[in-house]
Structure 1
Amino acid sequence: MFKGIYKVYFLGIGGIGMSALARWFRHEGYPVAGYDKTPSPLTEALEKEGMMISFEDSTVEIPFDFTTNPDEVLVVWTPAIPKDSLLLNFFQAHYQIKKRSEVLGMITREFYTIAVAGTHGKTSTSSLVAHLLKSAGKPVAAFLGGITQNYNSNLILPGKSKEQTLVVVEADEFDRSFLRLSPNEAVVTSADPDHLDIYGDEATILEGFRDFIKLLDKKGKLYIQTHAHYRLGENLSTSAAIREYGLRSSGIHAENIIAKPGLFLFDYIGAKVQIKGLELHIPGFHNVENALAAIAIAVDHGVTEEQIRAGVKSFKGVKRRFEIHSAAAGHIYIDDYAHHPEEIKACLSSVRAMYPTQRLTVIFQPHLFTRTRDFAEGFSESLSLADEVLLLDIYPARELPIPGVDSAMLLDGILAAKKLVLQKAQVMDYLEDSRPEVLVTLGAGDIDRLVPGIAAWMDSRAKQDES
């Protein structure tokens, strides 16, 4: 598969998808080095695992062993790296260089692959698919878009089973990366408009998902969420078996859903199997729906009812996906990666169901100027589910500012009783004064840097009130 390659260098090694690949190559015995813009807990973990990482965009920082025989080095890069990067331009001129999606695609051609796509829900769903199979003793390798709580990693590796390894991959629609995969089975959790800076319009991103489905093995299976199926149309160009799922689907669906603080109970109703009284400790109606797809796949791979029940109950979720940091009465704190109006709506609707009588405060950091501009009305509508909304400045990621586009443009459309724009440095003082009962932080930028401090503050408040 990688004939003649003896070392691998990653440009943007600290990215969640890149680091999973880096870990896979390291596990396979390759020396691994890389560059990233800034240190992070993830790059620190990779360094402890034996990878050499620099944070200077300079060719001087490339380890000597990676410069002596360029033909033996594979360079993997992510489109998040700026086009004027000195390292990117150097490697493009002198080395074999491939996008992350190309390399992941090469891996999927060698293994039986389950690819999970969707504008939202793919990280939680792929993680649960991998966990149900892994906990049932199946040989699984999984490349995930988040850090699983059960395995404390974005990479799951198979054991020593002689069975054929099943590869679970998160199929990312950004930059059309998922079109490089070779799936035997696929999940489409959602097909809402997003990444319009890449696709241009809603019709084009929907066509991207249809093209992804065309890649399915002819004898494969497609698990598709009800609304996504409606949006993509009935006449999908695939001979794979299509299995529709959803909370209220006529196909695979859930019944008797009960929302409780910290968990959801539900019954799985499938064509072959019905499993009653499942206990899911990653709360949220959207997570129940994600679990339906994962359970259906597990059933089709011979996982027993008892194993599924135990696997669903033991799944701890993914960091920053409805992650509950404090559950004390009156001191609830939940953090979520949601950065699209539909994701925010799903998260806050579930929080409301769990804590219907308590005051809900939300801190949201918009991600990308283009996304904020394109979905401003949707953001305002979904954030209106809260009683109090605090907006941080837009996290630019790969973008330059757009005149007239900022967080304040969302305020007029938000119906919450209290709403304002805050700087990150003001957050802790504001929380100290306002004393929220249920607090939710949302966003895909660097809002995660605030989470440890907020969690510690909320925990200390709970202990003070107990005493």
Structure 2
Amino acid sequence: MKEINNIKEVYFIGIGGIGMSALARYFKAKGKKVSGYDKTETVLSKQLVQEGIPVYYEDDEKYIAKGADIIVYTPAVPKEHKGLLYYRQNGYPVLKRSDVLGEITKSSFNICIAGTHGKTTITTMTAHLLRHSGYGCNAFLGGIAANYNSNFWSSERNVCVVEADEYDRSFLKLQPDIAAISAMDADHLDIYGTEDKMQQAFVDFAGKVKKGGTLLSKYGLAKENDLKADHHLTYSLQNNNANAYAANIANREGGYTFDAYINDRWLKDIELNMGGLHNIENAVAAIAIAKQLHIEDEKIKAAVAAFKGVKRRFEYIIPPAGKKATVYIDDYAHHPAELEALIKGVKLLFADKKCTVVFQPHLFSRTRDLAEAFAASLDMADEVILLPVYPARELPVEGVTSRLILDKMKNEYKHLMNKEETLNWIRKHYDKNKPGVLITSGAGDIDQMVQAVKGILEGGKW
């Protein structure tokens, strides 16, 4: 790969992806000519166009940037993609996103946050703490920070906060000064084959921490004793055996107040304005990282209080407004452990309201491998609607549909519906006189339903 300063033009294949778009914004901020392709138009790709980055949705040679110095692609793009084939056949430097990110961060101080779930929120919280406190950082996020409506920003300080993606072993291209691992639950078994091999990749990631660096891991992870670094700290929600944890947690208007114990010291009366106990744990991790950088307590507390969350992470589409009001939450949760944390968090915050979950399974392989765990998590809800599996990069797998989860559920209030049937069900059955909590969840295109659902709930179209 050319030196970053010598690159004049970059073309992205799969530019609308959350990680790819952050890189596109990075190169645009550096004054490079940027363009790209994606399969479908999304809110994010529209934003890129508004920012001066052309995006094409047709796989046609006439849209190819033939003057590009490097081509960046995501592994989710099919190998037979015409643009990808053209660049490979004509000798262009064709690089994965992870290779480019690794190159960008070669000469910076890097805070890299990994985990099968929790990493996007911790990464965004950490980057926000550094930005809001005035410390400063470059941020490469796997979600849209609500405070800044972006997944990327730059800073003169040579510090990068990076979401470290385990898919395709991408995070092994990074060189962390501080690394965090939030979870190592079975996932991406289509890539790793076994849970043990997946967990070993996290052990290898921990081994990438630079000499003298710090590793922060959730207390009690599998292979915890194999996670090695010169400085190894642990964090937890409330387990006082960890080096960092929360205490004195109290509900507060859809959020919380709590105290945080970090390395033998207390930060008192922290306000977090988002739901989900798992987000308190995520905040503890971000605060622990901020303390490693010696950011002052009051600046940390002010930053946490000002944090507006991450789009599609326990996002209040219709926020709580009294006991008789309906609450609508949209969330990216697409793994059984994430669903469990989401539903448990809702049940604790809104114990007096019926909890209905609309879930779109993501990937046939994940549905097949984790069907039983999905069923157990969804059984925690009062009523569940399962949408068809979102295939993403996969072809259908015989015998694998959403019914695989439905048949394993014990909850009698369960349904299989498509999107239109779901909207009609909400119109007909969601009783405004018996207010509850409605959740839409999944990593596919379920987010495209959000505005329609919100309109039904707010517009009285019952």
TM range (shorter): over 0.9
Q: Name the residue aligned to 2:365.
A: 370
Distance between the aligned counterparts of 1:431 and 1:446, measured in 2?
Answer: 18
Distance between the aligned counterparts of 1:152 and 1:400, measured in 2?
Answer: 33
Structure 1 residues 64-115: Cα deviation after superposition (integer angstroms, max 9, x where no partner):
xx32x45xx1110000110110111111122111100000001111210000
Q: Name the residue aligned to 1:24.
A: 26
Q: Name the residue aligned to 1:232.
A: 223
**Are the equivalent residues in 1 in contact too, given 2:4–2:104 (CA < 8 A)?**
no
Superposition deviation, residue 407 in structure 1: 0.5
2:337 counterpart SS class = helix
Task: Name which of 126, 137, 150 aligns with 2:147.
Answer: 150
Moved more, 115-124 or 433-442: 433-442
1:234 counterpart SS class = helix
Task: Confirm whether residue 361 of structure 1 aligns to residue 356 of structure 2.
Answer: yes
Task: Confirm whether residue 258 of structure 1 aligns to residue 250 of structure 2.
Answer: yes
Counterpart residue type for residue 226 of structure 2? N
Superposition deviation, residue 403 in structure 1: 0.9
Task: Confirm whether residue 77 of structure 1 aligns to residue 95 of structure 2.
Answer: no
Q: Name the residue aligned to 2:295.
A: 303
Distance between the aligned counterparts of 1:413 and 1:171, measured in 2?
Answer: 33
Q: Name the residue aligned to 1:450.
A: 449
Task: Name which of 155, 165, 171 aligns with 1:178.
Answer: 171
Q: Name the residue aligned to 1:106.
A: 103
Distance between the aligned counterparts of 1:305 and 1:5, measured in 2?
Answer: 41
2:25 counterpart SS class = helix
1:385 counterpart SS class = coil
Distance between the aligned counterparts of 2:398 and 2:226, measured in 1?
Answer: 42
Superposition deviation, residue 198 in structure 1: 0.3
Superposition deviation, residue 261 in structure 1: 4.1
Identity of aligned residues (%): 44
**Are the equivalent residues in 2 in contact too, given 1:365–1:394 (CA < 8 A)?**
yes
**Are the equivalent residues in 2 in contact too, given 1:279–1:312 (CA < 8 A)?**
yes
Counterpart residue type for residue 121 of structure 1? G
Q: Superposed, which structure 2 residues align to 1:52-451 within 5 Å? A: 52-62=54-64, 66-67=65-66, 69=67, 73-94=69-90, 95-158=92-155, 160=156, 164-228=157-221, 231-238=222-229, 240-249=230-239, 250=241, 251-326=243-318, 327-328=320-321, 329-435=324-430, 437-451=436-450
**Are the equivalent residues in 2 in contact too, given 1:32–1:51 (CA < 8 A)?**
yes
Equivalenced residue count is 450
Superposition deviation, residue 204 in structure 1: 0.3
Structure 1 residues 280-321: Cα deviation after superposition (integer angstroms, max 9, x where no partner):
112111100010110011112121111111111100011000
Q: Name the residue aligned to 2:459.
A: 460
Structure 1 residues 408-427: Cα deviation after superposition (integer angstroms, max 9, x where no partner):
11123223241010011111
**Are the equivalent residues in 2 in contact too, given 1:330–1:438 (CA < 8 A)?**
no
Superposition deviation, residue 456 in structure 1: 2.1
Distance between the aligned counterparts of 1:359 and 1:134, measured in 2?
Answer: 38
1:13 counterpart SS class = coil
1:265 counterpart SS class = strand
Superposition deviation, residue 237 in structure 1: 3.6
Structure 1 residues 363-392: Cα deviation after superposition (integer angstroms, max 9, x where no partner):
000000000000000000000111100000
Counterpart residue type for residue 278 of structure 1? I
**Are the equivalent residues in 2 in contact too, given 1:389–1:420 (CA < 8 A)?**
yes
CA-atom RMSD in angstroms:
1.4
Counterpart residue type for residue 190 of structure 1? A
Moved more, 343-352 or 425-434: 425-434
Structure 1 unaligned residues grouped into runs of 5+: none
2:247 counterpart SS class = strand
**Are the equivalent residues in 2 in contact too, given 1:384–1:414 (CA < 8 A)?**
yes
Moved more, 321-330 or 79-88: 321-330
TM-score by length of 1: 0.94
Superposition deviation, residue 17 in structure 1: 0.3
2:424 counterpart SS class = helix
Distance between the aligned counterparts of 2:79 and 2:43, measured in 1?
Answer: 26
Superposition deviation, residue 24 in structure 1: 0.4
Moved more, 402-411 or 413-422: 413-422
Structure 2 unaligned residues grouped into runs of 5+: none
Distance between the aligned counterparts of 1:307 and 1:233, measured in 2?
Answer: 32
Moved more, 271-280 or 319-328: 271-280
Distance between the aligned counterparts of 2:260 and 2:5, measured in 1?
Answer: 45
Counterpart residue type for residue 252 of structure 1? A
**Are the equivalent residues in 1 in contact too, given 2:423–2:453 (CA < 8 A)?**
yes
Distance between the aligned counterparts of 1:323 and 1:332, measured in 2?
Answer: 11
**Are the equivalent residues in 1 in contact too, given 2:328–2:454 (CA < 8 A)?**
yes
**Are the equivalent residues in 2 in contact too, given 1:387–1:417 (CA < 8 A)?**
no
Superposition deviation, residue 357 in structure 1: 1.8
**Are the equivalent residues in 2 in contact too, given 1:259–1:353 (CA < 8 A)?**
no
